[in-house]
Chain A
């Protein structure tokens, strides 16, 4: 790297110019969104008079916000926990079957398609006369037959399952790679000491795949906080408000009712919730990379 200084700067700009520009631009957008959330822009015509936190107060006090927030939290928990643990267990089982390539192909297929397609596909599965109900009727499980996504008591959970269906493959291969990366000597020593089956899994495998949890869990939580496509395609937030989530509420406010300021306020709230998840993770990652 012993080059004349001026020459160095040119090189620097060639390689880093585009990304610097984009980073600055994206940060400007964040700042701007923050400002809009404190403005009185509530109609088609732009208006940027500063009103402080009034929009936040208005948004937070609505029923739709409360329902969305609770639904997002439910989504986070009921999506993240099964996807993570099913992923870990299946990764272990798949390695035991010795047919990793085949199972990888099966489970990753649903990650390759659009959320929109997944939603459409499951609308068809869940429909009153759809595949799921037909199957239950055929098996004599008539008590399970119901209009899954038009029934307010099951709609949210039916949608959450669709996201589990889409993300499980991702969770599986991250854990699979982690399990395969475990040092052979550790497992061997444990086996020699007589560890087997569940003991091996809980005492040896589980602690050795900690870093995989640190990839899977934050990504799943962020996905649950941003969930939008599935709701838009499958239920549009209904029936009633039963499947309303923050990202959908934000879209409705900003691009349907044209209350841009309120939409921006919801966007900021989604960002703040994401940061709660990301900051501890980033802290940990930083210590690993740069510490």
Chain B
């Protein structure tokens, strides 16, 4: 891999081409990152300073006041939204990742008659839009008393996550060499022991990738949260943010501070687990 890239550079690069490639990449990269810098500036500076553009530093008085206002908003306190998001997201990540890991182990290692058909049936669900699920789920959750509860939404997110995580991890598991497992099987280990002692630890990087993506997906989800959590004190962070806009007067400082707070956890997670996040995106094609 490295050698191909080095070769591309050695063989093809003239100073002009290098300059063109760099200029375009930096330019677009700059445009892509600009809104983040802008919203951050808008969140720490008073509105009067922004009228001439946030890049104007003629007067500069940073303050965290708007963060305080967003967190302790009288009608839509964001701190509660953030806590609710955590209450929903943590179990909605752990449950499907564990169950899907077991299922994908079975798909990667067991052979049984309808395996491929079953796998396909499951795969199809990944193409089904969320919109298909919400009406019957709304009715079902209502009749079993789980509508407007944390548990209800956790169950929905977990079920929704299992098919894609199974698909993702099956690709990953089928790349692990079988030798250890076969040796363990000869020594009389059960599949359960093999799974918990060998497969799970060995494939931890893949499992972390899936967990990072699932966490980000649940935290960032808006539609399920909009439909299934109805009482304002249960609103998750992504649900509260649009409400901070207000009806008539828009407080941009408040809104930008809110945006920063809602994106904080997924962005930190993204920086901390960057490698796994990227593998989560590229891992789909590995066995293509």
Residues of A at the B interface (CB closer than 8 Å) are 1, 11-12, 14-16, 18-20, 22-23, 25-30, 32-33, 36, 46, 86, 90, 93-99, 103-117, 119-125, 127, 129, 131, 134-135, 138, 165, 168-170, 173-174, 177-178, 180-182, 184, 187-188, 191, 196-197, 200, 211-212, 214-215, 222, 225-226, 228-229, 232-233, 247, 250-251, 254-255, 260, 263-264, 266-268, 270-271, 274-275, 277-278, 282, 286, 288-290
Instruction: Tell me the interface secondary structure of chain A in the complex.
Output: helix
CA distance A251 to B130 in the complex (A): 11
Q: A19-B162, A32-B136, A90-B28 are in contact. Are A182 and B4 (CB under 8 A)?
A: yes
Contact partners of A178 in chain B: CB under 8 A: 285
CA distance A290 to B118 in the complex (A): 13
Q: Is the CB of A226 within 8 A of B11?
A: no
Residues of B at the A interface (CB closer than 8 Å) are 1, 3-5, 7-9, 11-13, 17-18, 21-22, 24-25, 28-29, 32-33, 35-36, 38-39, 42, 51-54, 99-100, 102-103, 105-106, 110-112, 116, 118, 120-125, 127-140, 159, 162-163, 166, 190-192, 195, 216, 219-223, 226-227, 238-239, 241-242, 245, 250, 252, 255-256, 258-259, 262-263, 266-267, 269-271, 274, 277-278, 281-282, 284-285, 287-288
Q: A120-B241, A180-B1 are in contact. Are A286 and B120 (CB under 8 A)?
A: yes
CA distance A138 to B195 in the complex (A): 62
Q: A117-B241, A173-B282 are in contact. Are A11 and B7 (CB under 8 A)?
A: no
Q: Is the CB of B7 within 8 A of A188?
A: yes
**A-B residue pairs in contact (CB < 8 Å), sample of 21:** A11-B190, A12-B106, A12-B110, A19-B99, A26-B159, A28-B136, A90-B24, A90-B28, A97-B21, A97-B22, A103-B25, A107-B29, A114-B263, A117-B259, A121-B259, A131-B42, A134-B51, A184-B4, A271-B132, A274-B128, A288-B288
Contact partners of B1 in chain A: CB under 8 A: 180-181
CA distance A232 to B226 in the complex (A): 11
Q: Is the CB of B123 within 8 A of A282?
A: yes
Contact partners of A46 in chain B: CB under 8 A: 139
